[in-house]
Amino acid sequence: MSPSTISLHDKQFTPYLPATQILGAVRTIATRLNQDYAGQRPLFLVVLNGSFMFAADLMKEMTIECEVTFIRVASYQGTTSSGEVKEIMGLQEEIAGRHLIIVEDIVDTGHTMQELLQQLQAKQPASLEVATLFTKPECLQHELALRYIGLELPNEFIVGYGLDYDGLGRNYPDVYKVL
């Protein structure tokens, strides 16, 4: 049973999305990816740190041959996007001619994703798609082609299921929103 509220740093959070709903969204994305990439061997590029839970659950549902690698980028400070993308850990695999799927926890402003897509497109993959568990359409500041979306959310600051508030809250299986 989930706590009725959680405290992280100076903020209180209340339950928002149960783990069962989140896992349903993950399975829906996986089903589409398994269909769309049947007979191919895509490379899943997992954006750390927030996407680790989503990626783990997504990979458990993949029935196609695929590979997984990781990249770490940062654009958040506290509860808002800084708008500045900093690549911390780079991609080691050769991606030219490969089918690449970026696995992201959440796309809100789109700053990070826009920059990441531009950097990766320059490396000439055969195809480049985004699988995001959450998106906040009213926050988007870039026109992005997000093909695989788990859930569209209003502009609420959320934690849990890999998402954090200054490093805390990633460990909860449910998602919580700030009070």
CATH number of 149's domain: 3.40.50.2020
108 belongs to the catalytic site: yes
Tens of pLDDT, residue by residue over 17-27, are: 999 999 999 99
Choose, from 105, 108, 164, 174, the residue flagged as catalytic: 108
Number of domains in the chain: 1
Is residue 112 a part of any domain in this protein? yes
33 has a pLDDT exceeding 70 = yes
Is residue 7 a part of any domain in this protein? no
Whether residue 49 is preceded by a cis peptide bond, meaning omega within 30 degrees of 0, is yes
Is residue 8 a part of any domain in this protein? no
135 has a pLDDT exceeding 60 = yes
Is residue 172 a part of any domain in this protein? no
Query: Quick one: which of 58, 59, 57, 65 has its CA closest to 38?
Result: 65
Is residue 6 a part of any domain in this protein? no
Is residue 72 a part of any domain in this protein? yes
The mean pLDDT value of the chain amounts to: 92
Contact 159, 130 (CB under 8 A): no
Predicted TM-score of the model (pTM): 0.92
Tens of pLDDT, residue by residue over 50-93, are: 999 999 999 999 999 999 999 987 655 555 555 566 554 678 89
Range of the domain at 147: 19-153
Tens of pLDDT, residue by residue over 114-123, are: 989 988 999 9
Is residue 166 a part of any domain in this protein? no
In order of 2, 37, 57, 97, the CA distances from 129 in angstroms are 34, 11, 19, 14
Is residue 178 a part of any domain in this protein? no
Dihedral (C-alpha) 48, 53, 55, 60: value to the nearest 10 degrees?
160
The continuous run of DSSP H or E covering 111 comes out as: helix 111-121
